[in-house]
């Protein structure tokens, strides 16, 4: 099986969305608009060619991340996620949410997974009132990782959502079920590593 990098003649006819830089509300809104526009057109034509989402991000707003994931989940269009450069934090969550079998990264891609972090400027009572939501966020993340990787919760907490940032190679992500295909970009004669 031969997999080409996103920039080639074969992929020219496919829709491509770039998710680069920090994940913010405006960026997530634009990405969701493009996703929905593609899905609408595909519903009209009845042709569901895979959509490419190229991801290079340090992460950002967690709620904006969930917004993108929820739109992706609602779509019939297959979504190929491509990890290029850095796929970290919220980008990691979105990348693994690509269509199974279509989550692709180059061997140069650096991944990072971690538990959520937030800061508050509030009084004691308001900070305490946030605790149930903080627990729900952690639970949502665990369930998302479980659905996308097939790993057990204990293994997710051991390998991906530890008390500190976890830096991973594309090959390690492939071992853990986060990534399906790794493209070796070190040589001109590219080798594809299928899961």
Assigned domain for 10 exists? no
Residue 128 has what pLDDT?
76
122: domain CATH number is: 3.90.226.10
Assigned domain for 2 exists? no
Assigned domain for 131 exists? yes
Residue 64 exposed, middle or buried by CB count within 10 Å (0-12, 13-18, 19+): buried
Please name which of 136, 98, 93, 97 lies closest in space to residue 113, comparing C-alpha atoms. Answer: 93
Assigned domain for 48 exists? yes
Assigned domain for 1 exists? no
**pLDDT band at 9; cut points 50, 70, 90:** very low
* Overall domain count for the chain: 1
What is the extent of the structural domain holding 115?
16-194
pLDDT one-digit tens code per residue, 121-153: 667 677 777 778 878 989 999 999 999 999 999
Assigned domain for 3 exists? no
Assigned domain for 9 exists? no
pLDDT one-digit tens code per residue, 54-69: 999 999 999 999 999 9
Its pTM stands at: 0.86
Q: Which two tokens stand for residue 6?
A: 């996103």
């Amino acid at each position: 099986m031969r997999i080409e990098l996103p920039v080639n003649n074969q992929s020219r006819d496919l829709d491509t969305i770039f998710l680069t830089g920090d994940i913010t509300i405006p960026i997530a809104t634009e990405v969701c608009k493009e996703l929905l526009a593609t899905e609408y057109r595909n519903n009209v034509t009845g042709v569901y060619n895979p959509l490419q989402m190229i991801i290079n991000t340090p992460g950002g707003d967690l709620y904006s991340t969930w917004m993108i994931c929820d739109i992706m989940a609602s779509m019939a269009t297959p979504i190929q996620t491509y990890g290029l450069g850095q796929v970290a934090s919220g980008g990691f969550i979105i990348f693994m949410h690509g269509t199974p079998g279509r989550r692709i990264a180059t061997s140069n891609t650096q991944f990072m997974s971690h538990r959520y972090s937030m800061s508050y400027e509030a009084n004691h009572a308001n900070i305490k009132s946030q605790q149930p939501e903080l627990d729900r966020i952690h639970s949502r993340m665990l369930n998302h990782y479980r659905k996308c990787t097939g790993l057990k919760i204990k293994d997710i907490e051991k390998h991906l959502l530890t008390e500190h940032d976890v830096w991973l190679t594309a090959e390690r992500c492939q071992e853990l079920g986060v990534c399906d295909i790794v493209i070796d970009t070190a040589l001109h004669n590219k080798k594809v590593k299928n899961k």
